[in-house]
Amino acid sequence: MNLATTAALFVATALMEITGCFLPALWLQGRTGAWVLLPAAAALAAFVWLLTLHPAASGRVYAAYGGVYVATAIAWLWLVDGIRPSAYDLAGSAIALAGMAVIAWGWQRG
């Protein structure tokens, strides 16, 4: 699996995790009905399944995924929450993605 495919899979994984946590938060805040718990559970199940699709050891997958999660959460902040990311948000995301790239590149080498 190349780096672009790995990154795309991680973004899909992050979207499932964020969705699986965001929907129950909306319910707990009284902004929607309990029906959102079903798609939230499905999103979290998809999140776990997506993590298993990587050929690397789970610890490496989780470590690399963390970098993509940070960047995806900042994108969510902007696109869903409507809050424009600060320069610090963007710099932190770039650093996290650089760490992800190093880890993923390394697992593909041996």
Q: pLDDT tens digits, residue range 30-63? A: 999 999 999 999 999 999 999 889 877 778 888 8
Distance spanning both ends of the chain, measured CA to CA: 13
Cα–chain center distance at 31: 23
- Output the CA torsion 84→88→92→93 (10° steps): 20
Residue scoring higher pLDDT (75 or 7): 75
8-12, 59-63, 66-70, 73-77 — which one is most confidently predicted on average?
73-77
pLDDT single digits (tens) 4-29: 888 888 889 999 999 999 999 999 99
Cβ neighbours of residue 64 under 8 Å, at least 6 residues apart?
Answer: 6, 10, 56, 99, 100, 103, 104, 107
pTM of the model: 0.83
**R_g (Cα) of the chain, nearest Å:** 15
Give mean pLDDT, residues 91-95. Answer: 97
